[in-house]
C-alpha cells in the first residue's frame, strides 16, 4: 500500500453472527446484525478506511475469504464464532496469509463456559477484543487501523 491510499480492512463474521439480536439476547444483546454492520461502516468512514464485510456459517467459505484477502487487504477483523475454539483450518489460513488480524467477540468469552476461553485462532492474531457487544468490532477496527499504520 502506497502512502495516500486508503487502508483496506476485511471484517469477517462467523457462524450464527447473522442471528445477533435474535438469539440469546442475554448473552449477545439486542442490537441487530444489520445495526452492527452499519456502525462498522460508519466507523470505517471516520477512520478513512475502506471496509468489506463478509458473513458465513461455513468454515470453508471463511477460509476462502481469508485466502482471497492476500494482496487485497491490509488488515482483518474476525469474529470466528464457534470456530474460535476448534478451527485449526481457519487458524492456518490467518497464519498463512500473514495479514495483521484482530479477533473480536461480542460477549466476554472468558466469563462464560470454560471451553469458550480457549481460542486456537488468537495466537496467530495481533490481539483479541471481547465483551463489548457490537463495540468490540469498532474497537477491533481502531486497533487494526493503528497496527497497520505503525
**Domain ranges, residue 57:** 7-81+89-149
CATH number of the domain residue 14 falls in: 3.40.50.9100
pLDDT at position 141 = 98
pLDDT at residue 3 is higher than 60: no
Rounded Cα–Cα distance for residues 104 and 108 (Å): 10
Is residue 2 assigned to a domain? no
Is residue 129 assigned to a domain? yes
Q: Considering 13, 28, 83, 137, which one is annotated as catalytic?
A: 28
Contact in structure between 48 and 6 (CB atoms under 8 Å): yes
Biggest alpha carbon distance in the chain?
45
pLDDT at position 1 = 45
- The bridge status of strand 101-105 relative to strand 75-79 is parallel
Rounded Cα–Cα distance for residues 77 and 89 (Å): 17
Is residue 1 assigned to a domain? no
The tens digit of pLDDT for each residue in 57-116 reads 999 999 999 999 999 999 999 999 999 998 999 999 999 999 999 999 998 776 666 766
pLDDT at position 24 = 64
pLDDT at position 2 = 44
DSSP 29: -
Give me 25's grid cell: 439476547
Domain count, the chain: 1
The tens digit of pLDDT for each residue in 15-68 reads 999 998 777 666 666 789 999 999 999 999 999 999 999 999 999 999 999 999
pLDDT at residue 139 is higher than 80: yes
Q: Considering 58, 83, 86, 105, which one is annotated as catalytic?
A: 105
Q: Is 86 a catalytic residue?
A: no
Find cell 487458524 and name the residue.
91
Amino acid at each position: 500500500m502506497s502512502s495516500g491510499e486508503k487502508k483496506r480492512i476485511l471484517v469477517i463474521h462467523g457462524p450464527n453472527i447473522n442471528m445477533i439480536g435474535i438469539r440469546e439476547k442475554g448473552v449477545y444483546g439486542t442490537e441487530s446484525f444489520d445495526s452492527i454492520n452499519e456502525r462498522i461502516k460508519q466507523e470505517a468512514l471516520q477512520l478513512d478506511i475502506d471496509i468489506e464485510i463478509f458473513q458465513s456459517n461455513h468454515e470453508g467459505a471463511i477460509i476462502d475469504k481469508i485466502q482471497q484477502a492476500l494482496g487485497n487487504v491490509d488488515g482483518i477483523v474476525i469474529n470466528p464464532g464457534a470456530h474460535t475454539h476448534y478451527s485449526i483450518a481457519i487458524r492456518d489460513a490467518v497464519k498463512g496469509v500473514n495479514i495483521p488480524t484482530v479477533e473480536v467477540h461480542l460477549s466476554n468469552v472468558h466469563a462464560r463456559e470454560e471451553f469458550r476461553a480457549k481460542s486456537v485462532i488468537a495466537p496467530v492474531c495481533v490481539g483479541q477484543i471481547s465483551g463489548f457487544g457490537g463495540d468490540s468490532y469498532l474497537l477491533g477496527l481502531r486497533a487494526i487501523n493503528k497496527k497497520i499504520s505503525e
